[in-house]
Structure 1
């Protein structure tokens, strides 16, 4: 499995940001370990998909009656195959629109699993962090998890559809329905509702007479009616299950590819921007050498954030901190557009800074402007923590308002 030139560049830049010492490792060894981690992640995905395919193959036969009468409760089979699918789909829709907190928790869980697997494979944690920052940062992780979930449920439904089809090809089944609490009209209404899309696609759907004749206490069904019910049940599973999941899995995959490519390009553009800063002085530093000396005062360390306050992530390249899960996390500020949007808002807020990235003049200009509304600054990471602390003190931020957030 080969890496693109852009991803290799993003990998080395991310390693350099996270820990310059590890960046000096042999590049071939870094690429090899990164590729092993990528292969392991893909293998885990295919393993989960294969597991759900097996579960689907096992689930459908549970709905069939293996007695001499060979009777099949129509909606019992649909419930076995589509019931859990609809529940899972509903939860996905809710989580998708529930905001960033739920997805940050899922990404944290996924990150913990990757780190454990990498430890077993003896892959350095610094490479795992780079892998997560490149392929799962921001919205990349959301679309990755969506693709995985839809693929697994799609495999489950395909397995159930195949096993049901095989059973119907090798057995003569009588399709019946029975109920204790519902009426015949309720069953007819539900059947007609599920028949809307199959009828639009040209499939034969059951009539009211077919539904009435399929009562448990009715006589044996003619062959044409059995065939009609078999096609209808399989069609419902295919339309309301397999097609929906495969379409969502494909859409999630496209969005994941797009967001991942954008993420890699963002890292590379950061390199180019830093190169410009290093070669051309846009606004000369007028501070004295005495003011340039880093602060030796250690930051107060905290592990929890106050609730009911607004937080922004600044210069962020990592997964969203778990400490934000219970707070009012607002957004990430990584571009000039994000900075302008923040400055237009007058709401008091707090800033969480990725201090594994060195401050540049553009960042300091923004922080100087943001100081009127920002209450507290939290640092995460040690390589450039003193630089950020010194820069904020120069801009007049009180020392008590600069803290270190420990994950």
Structure 2
């Protein structure tokens, strides 16, 4: 998967949640927090996991396959169109070729659309959208995946932020026209190599000197590349009838090929290269817009205030004070809760029937929900499972203290390391010191007997 594809899937997930509501993402959020990194990285981890689960990753591959097939179809049509221009310009060789009519057939539509694209690029930035919409529509049809329909809008929104649409469309438009012009050039050369053509110019209202000046002006740039230009005598003589002179036929043929190459092929080649360069440089600057509501609301879930990134502010003089059993409500039962465990642990353990499982607190919503429950129905005994591989920062200790205030008696269970890992002795010592300052009992073994019976 490329970085563009990752951003694309992330944007697709955002659009899905914006239109259909939040997805079931508890597991995705936990895995993203475990992977670490900054917020954009975690948002991408979350989105890629959800995309894989919901089939969007496969839909993207199907869409890309459809896009390639659509591009091949359009390229074939461009080649056929270019060949048609060449056949229309030269004809079957039975009658002389009107050079300026032939030139108009070869370059007229191309130059009009080229000018239109350039003006649209300057004033609107989105010209060429018709070809782009055709390509997107054909890509979806060829993908044959219902979920792929969500991908095209996400791609357009993602590219619009860096104004890359114009360069992607420009590369598509100029690339297809380049193929058409190259096809016309090749067919033109093949026809001239296998048939004998005579060249004339005809007019009713223009004078002969006008055609002489136009022919020499158009042939000036091709002449710099070595293409011959008919002499003034040849041009004037061709106004009466096609010259049956080999040098004249070759001069007109070289002039026609040179003009097509310089004014038809080269501009499209340079513009396609320029658009590709702008696309590549702009693609490297693509990023998620964290100010969008869909991403902003993920901040607390993926980077909660109790994030284990070390202590960055000055330590308070006094830690949170705990007053167990201070509530006037009767307390009853036993409860086990865990704080931000990763997916390496099997949770919960097998519990006695009298012990309830409050799950894993890994988001602000889950914390608030449990604290509200404790305020209304305080348990007699509460065990809080913590992963001592994480640092005991003040966010964790504040949450433990707040939970402990909602129970008559609280114990902290410092979980053992997963198989094959060892706990950091210094970090485990930090936990012991912090919990002693909180005046909370703690244990390295499961306090299940205490939860069930109230004693060890």
Query: Shorter-chain TM-score category?
Result: 0.5 to 0.7
Equivalent in the alignment of 1:222: 245
TM-score with structure 1 length normalisation? 0.59
Deviation readout 1:102-156 (Å, 9 max, x if unpaired):
5597699469737963885322544443333345654121111111111121122
Structure 2: gaps of 5 or more residues: 25-46, 313-456
Equivalent in the alignment of 2:72: 46
Equivalent in the alignment of 1:319: none
Matches within 5 A, 1:163-202: 163-202=187-226
Q: How far, CA to CA, are the matches of 1:214 and 1:202 in structure 2? A: 22
Aligned partner of residue 246 in structure 1, secondary structure = helix
Q: How far, CA to CA, are the matches of 2:136 and 2:68 in structure 1? A: 16
Q: How far, CA to CA, are the matches of 2:75 and 2:135 in structure 1? A: 19
Equivalent in the alignment of 1:146: 170
Equivalent in the alignment of 2:340: none
Change (3 A) 1:169 1:104: closer
1:13 to 6, 10, 24: 10
Matches within 5 A, 1:379-390: none
Report how far residue 278 of structure 1 moved: 4.5
Change (3 A) 1:268 1:9: farther
Structure 1: gaps of 5 or more residues: 283-407
Q: How far, CA to CA, are the matches of 2:129 and 2:90 in structure 1? A: 40
Q: How far, CA to CA, are the matches of 2:7 and 2:193 in structure 1? A: 53
Matches within 5 A, 1:303-314: none
Aligned partner of residue 285 in structure 2, secondary structure = helix
Q: Using CA pairs below 8 Å that are at least 6 residues apart, which structure has the higher relative contact order?
A: 1
Report how far residue 221 of structure 1 moved: 2.9
Aligned partner of residue 217 in structure 1, secondary structure = coil
Deviation readout 1:49-103 (Å, 9 max, x if unpaired):
22021011122222334364x4211111111111111101110111111135x55
1:243 to 262, 266, 291: 266
Change (3 A) 1:240 1:214: same
Matches within 5 A, 1:324-335: none
Q: How far, CA to CA, are the matches of 1:80 and 1:104 in structure 2? A: 22
Count of aligned pairs between the two proteins: 276
TM-score with structure 2 length normalisation? 0.53
Change (3 A) 1:119 1:243: closer
RMSD, matched Cα: 3.6
2:155 to 131, 136, 159: 131
